Structure 1
Amino acid sequence: MTPTYADIADAAARIDGLVRPVTVAPAAPGPDPLWFALEFLQFTGSFKARGAQNFVRAHAAAGTLPEAGVTIASGGNAGLACAWAARDAGVPATVFLPETAPPVKIARLRGYGAEVRLIGPEYKQALAACREFAASTGALAAHAYDHPLIAAGAGTLMRELTTRIPDLDTVLVAVGGGGLFTGTAIAAQHAGVRTVAVEPAGCSSLHAALAAGRPVPVTVDSVAADALGAPDVSAMALAAAQHPNVRSVLVDDDTIRAARRLLWDEHRIAVEYGAATALAALLDTGSGAVYRPEPGERVCVVLCGANTDPSDLV
C-alpha cells in the first residue's frame, strides 16, 4: 500500500523528538539558489533513522513488537537505523547483510548491539535469509525500503524541507529501492515541488520499472551499490514516479565519484557514494548535466547518508 501525505504527517508526529530535524545549508554564497539538505547528520548517519523509528514505534504502540525483536536485510544503512531504533525501544535486532557490506557499517551495527549475519554476495540472498529467520523465530521483519511505514517516515524529511526553503521548486534525491524517493515524492507533490529521482546507471531499478510499466529485476553494478543497489524497486515507488511532477535520470559512476570528491574538496562534506549520486545529476561532465535547472529555479539536493570510510578523500 502506498502511503499518503496524511501517513507522512502521522509519522512526523510519531517520531517527533526521536530524530534530528534536517539542517539545510546554501551550497555556495551568491545568487545561485541551490541548497544541500544535510541529512547525513541524522542519527545513524542516514535518513533511514526516520523510517526505522516510525516502523518500530508504530508497532510498539499497536502492541505488535515481539520480544524476539526485529530483523532486517540491508546493504548497511537500513540495518543501522533498525538496530538503533530497536535498541531505543528495548528489543533485540538481527541484521542480515551481503558479505560485500562495508566494514565501517558492520562495525557500527555491532556497536548498536545488533546480531550481524553476513549472507551471500548480494542483497537478495540476505533478504531470503532474513525472511526465513523471521518465520522461524517470530521476530518482526522490517524492510529496507518496501513498507509504507518506512516510506512515510522517510517522507518527513521532505515535509521539513518545505518549511525550511520557501518557494522550493525542485528536490533531487538518490534512489535505491525507493523508500526515500516514495516519501519524498508524495510530500513534494503535496507542496507542488518537482522531484528528480537520480540513480546510478549500474543499478537503475526505478528507471527500468518506468520503462517496463512494472518493477523488474536489474543488475547491480555501481560504486554506490552498497546504498542504492536494490535488485528491484518497490511498487509504491513506481506509482509515485508516474506522477507528472517527477523526473527520472541516470548518472554514471565516474560522475558519482566526481560529485563525492567535489563535496569534500569544495565543502568539506564527506558522504558515501549513494549520497553523492543526487548531486551528480547537476555536474557538467563535458556533455552537459543530466538535470539542468532553469534560471532562478530553487533546488535542494538531499545528501542522504555518510556511513563511509573517508580515508580515500584525503
Structure 2
Amino acid sequence: MSLEITHERIAGIERLIRPHIRHTPVLRVDMADFGLAARPVDLKLECLQHSGSFKARGAFTNLLTRPVPDAGVVAASGGNHGAAVAYAAMRLGVRAAIFVPGVTSPAKAERIRGYGANLVIGGERYADALAASERYAKESGALAIHAFDQPETLLGQGTLGAEIEADLPEITTLLVAVGGGGLIGGIAAWFRGRVKIVAVEPEGSPTLHLALAAGEPVDAPAEGIAADSLAPKRVGELMFPIAQAFVERSILVSDDDIRAAQHALWDKVRIVAEPGGAAALAALLSGRYAPGPDERMAVLVCGANTTAVKFD
C-alpha cells in the first residue's frame, strides 16, 4: 500500500480543507420504504457537497498543498472532477482549464463553465481527455490535477472516510461506487479494515472488478449509463494496493439497476443523484449485495450532477 496515503495524513488534510468543504448530512432510511425487508440503512449524502460531488475534497487538497503556477491548473474529467477543480479554482482565485470527453453530461459541462473555467472537449472518452490535458500541461506549464491517481487526490477523498466514521461510528459495512478508485482508495485507507468496504461498479465499466481478478490494474470497457463518472480506462496505480488490502469485494450492477436506484432515491426520499451517485444503492436495492442480519449498513450517495429531474 502507498506509504503516502496514511490515516495520519488524511486527518491532517481534513483539518486543512475543513473551512472549504461541507460536512454533508446522513439520512437514515428503512429499506421497507423501498419494498425490501425492513432494516435501517444510512445514506451519506455527499451528493450535497460543493460542486455536486465528493470531488471537491480532492480538488481543494491539491490546490492548498501544491504550488500553483501562474498558468493555473488543468484537469481531465468525466465531469465531476472538472467541476470540483473549477469550483476550487474559482474560490481560490486560480485559472483553470478543464478537458472533458464527449460523453460528459450537459449538466456537468454547464457547471464547469459556470465556475469560470475554460472547458475543452478532448475526445470521446476519459482517456482521450486525459491525454489532451497532459499535452496542455506540458505546453502551458499549468499544474495537472489527476482525478484519482494522485496522492493529494486520494488524501482529500479519504477525508470522507473520517467524516463517515465521525457520523456513523457503529456501521459495519459501507457500499462505495468506483470509477478510477480515488474515492474508495481514500476511504479504505482511512478505515484500514475496521469497516467492510464493498465496491460497486457498472457492468459496462468494471475497472476494479477486472483489476482484482488480474492482480493488477488492467484496461476495462468504458460503457454504460454512468460512463461520464465511473468509466476510466483502468483504476489508479496508487489506489490498487489499498483496494487489495482493504476492499472486501467488487459487485457489478446493471444500467437498469442504477436507473431504478436513481428513481427510488427521488420517489422515496426526494434525493437527486446522477447515475454514478446512485450506483452504490443500486447494489442493495437490486439484491446484488445481500447484507447479513447483523450488518449495520451505510451507502454513499456520491454525486448529483444531472438534469434527470425537470421542474415545471
Give TM-score scaled by structure 1 length: 0.93
Deviations 1:4-55 (A, max 9, x none): 1122112101101110012111023997231000001100000000010011
- Give the one of 289, 292, 295 matched to 1:294: 292
1:248-267 pair list within 5 angstroms: 248-267=250-269
User: Deviation of residue 203 (structure 1)?
Assistant: 0.2
Tell me the CA shift for residue 75 of structure 1: 0.3
- In structure 1, what is the Cα distance between the partners aligned to 2:241 and 2:65? 24
1:52 and 1:153 in contact (8 A); partners too: yes
The corresponding residue for 1:272 is 274
Query: Cα RMSD over matched residues?
Result: 1.7
> What residue number does 1:32 align with?
39
Shift of 1:246: 2.0
Is the 2:103–2:227 Cα contact (8 Å) retained in structure 1? no
Q: Percent identity?
A: 45
The corresponding residue for 1:143 is 146
1:22/1:161 contact within 8 Å kept: no
* Deviations 1:185-227, CA, capped at 9 Å, x for gaps: 111226x111001000110110111111111111111101111
Contact kept? 2:157, 2:183, Cα under 8 Å: yes
CA contact (8 A) 1:22 1:157 kept: no
- What are the equivalent positions in structure 2 for 1:1-314 lying under 5 Å apart? 1=2, 3-28=5-30, 32-59=39-66, 64-189=67-192, 192-243=194-245, 246-284=248-286, 289-311=287-309
| Counterpart amino acid of residue 101 in structure 1 | T
Tell me how far apart the structure 1 counterparts of residues 123 and 213 of structure 2 sit (CA, whole Å): 29
Please state how far the C-alpha of 1:311 moved relative to its aligned partner.
Answer: 3.4
Is the partner of 1:282 in helix, strand or coil?
helix
Number of equivalences = 305
Label 1:312 to 1:258 Cα distance change in 2 as closer, same or farther (>3 A).
Answer: farther
1:209-266 Cα shifts (integer Å, max 9, x gaps):
1111111111111101111111100122221221255221111111111111111111
**Paired amino acid for 1:309:** T
Per-residue CA deviations over 1:124-162 (Å, capped at 9, x if unaligned) read: 111111000000110000011111111110111111111
Give the aligned residue type for 2:161: M
> For 1:313 and 1:245, how far apart are their aligned partners in 2?
39
How many Å separate the matches in 1 of 2:289 and 2:214?
22
- Alignment match, 2:35: none
Shift of residue 305, structure 1, vs aligned partner: 0.5
Taking the aligned partners of 2:81 and 2:265, their CA distance within structure 1 comes to: 23
Runs of 5+ consecutive residues of structure 2 not aligned to the other structure: 33-37
SS in 1 for 2:20: coil
Q: Distance in 2 between matches of 1:13 and 1:229?
A: 31
Contact in 2 for aligned 1:193/1:245 (Cα 8 Å): no
